[in-house]
Structure 1
Amino acid sequence: MEGGAIESRNWSLFDRFFPNRLEWARWKYAGFLLLFFCIFAAIPYTVSNHIAAWRGVSVGNIEIWLDREIPFTSWAIIFYIAYYIYIPVVAWIGAASHRREEALVFFQRFIGLTWGVFVIFIILPVEVTLRDQVVFEPGFFGWFMTDLHAADPPFNSWPSLHVFQSFMMLLVVRAWFMNEDKWPMALAVIAWVTTALIWFSTVGIKQHYLFDIVSGLAVTAIAWHYWIRFAIIQTKH
């Protein structure tokens, strides 16, 4: 696919309130993207999940036999946490002077899709009932799992946000770098393996079902193909 132009405008409110944003230092623009995500995605996530937990309703059971055959894997916590590094990294990459408007369009649609997932959490909640398999080991791993369970009620089952968002962020970085011939095999392998380990971590620490991974991948693939990629950049593959 040959190079082209952005096919979507940024929200007009950004031009009204931040007319000089393209002149900002890179760290400031990256912080702007990160704050935009935190306010409009991270905070609403907490609200939607607690609403689902408050209702205490599960619309069905999507557990399969393989979900319980996968052993609790304490080291997978490392990759579950690694997901949170992706967001500032993508914000920093997107804050490069030649990518800023593309990055803002991406974050707008990325957050819009995330809100769609929140709606699923609220109207079609499914409780994850695998936490009885968690082993609370002494030290960091046990401490993290205790805090995770306290902060994250088990009603944000499908599609997995960790899977959907990490996959989407990988795809946009891949598109940007491939468009500039900056996607060597070594970087591609590291990025794909790390992201796949994030997906595994969701079932490895018993936060999600396998169906949540599949549905998260499906949401990303469909949204990227039909709504995201043509809105931000015409990449060459």
Structure 2
Amino acid sequence: MKNKIAGLLPLLWLLAIPVLNLFYTILNHGETNVRSLVTGLDERIPFVPAFIIPYVIWYPFIITMLIVLFLKNRRTYYRTLLTLCLGLITCYIIYYFYQTTVGRPIITENGPLYGLVKLIYATDRPYNCFPSIHVFTSYLMLKGMSDCANWSRTARLGSTVISWTIIVSTLFVKQHVWLDIVGGIVVAEVLYAVVRKWIIISEKRIPPAISPSEDHLPASRPSRSSHR
């Protein structure tokens, strides 16, 4: 029983995510020089309230994916979680020095979907946009999944569809622009490659463990029959 509990302790490292997210709230303001990365292409993208559903699904999706990675491949779980934490720190540094904003539509309609959009708008100010954390983390889950060989085809397809739907939803609910998506993907690709390389180098520096049974075995003596 104790071994099972000890084996689950690395899951507590997920608590690093909400701790780091405290900085998101601190930085989510427009008190500095705020820039806009909106392009003509972004202006042509319509506001579609239905996309608020995958946008909100992002919250449980990321945690679920990390738990599944933990159960399927512990090494990939550590690599993905470390990349996620480093990515959040990277995004926060960028937000501090290069704050951007996205113009939001004025919601006058009523209904469940519009109400959910209003709730998101009210709880998340229109800053901290480039790069998109929604995009960075959703794309990162695909990177982690690609390193796991024991995922079924159905699970891979479902996770891929959900991830990309979340990424696209950031555009249609007017929370992000195209450059925010590009930035999130670049951060995920670069940091995941760096963390993977660092882990490989670290493992090569660790000498192979010697089995206790082999370490304490006396040197073998030549057989008498060999001298006959």
TM-score, normalization by structure 1: 0.74
Provide Cα deviations, 1:36-68, integer angstroms capped at 9, x if missing partner: 2211x222222222xxx151421x332111111
Partner of 2:212: none
**Contiguous gaps of at least 5 residues in structure 1:** 1-20
Partner of 1:35: 15
Residue 25 of structure 1: how far off its partner (Å): 6.1
Residue 217 of structure 1: which of 181, 185, 189 is its match?
Answer: 185
RMSD of aligned alpha carbons: 2.6
- Report how many aligned residue pairs link the two structures: 200
Paired with 2:176 and 2:3, the residues of 1 have a C-alpha distance of 40
Distance change >3 Å, CA 191–CA 111, structure 1 → 2 = same
Partner of 1:143: 115
Partner of 2:100: 126
Residue 232 of structure 1: how far off its partner (Å): 5.5
Partner of 1:195: 163
Paired with 2:89 and 2:173, the residues of 1 have a C-alpha distance of 25
Paired with 2:60 and 2:10, the residues of 1 have a C-alpha distance of 17
**Contiguous gaps of at least 5 residues in structure 2:** 202-228
Provide Cα deviations, 1:110-141, integer angstroms capped at 9, x if missing partner: 21221111111111011112x02x54542322
Partner of 2:154: 186
Q: Which one has more relative contact order, counting CA pairs under 8 Å at least 6 apart?
A: 1
Residue 150 of structure 1: how far off its partner (Å): 1.7
Distance change >3 Å, CA 214–CA 109, structure 1 → 2 = closer
User: SS at 1:95's partner residue?
Assistant: helix
Distance change >3 Å, CA 111–CA 80, structure 1 → 2 = same
Partner of 1:18: none
Percent same amino acid among aligned pairs?
25
Residue 73 of structure 1: which of 35, 48, 52 is its match?
Answer: 48
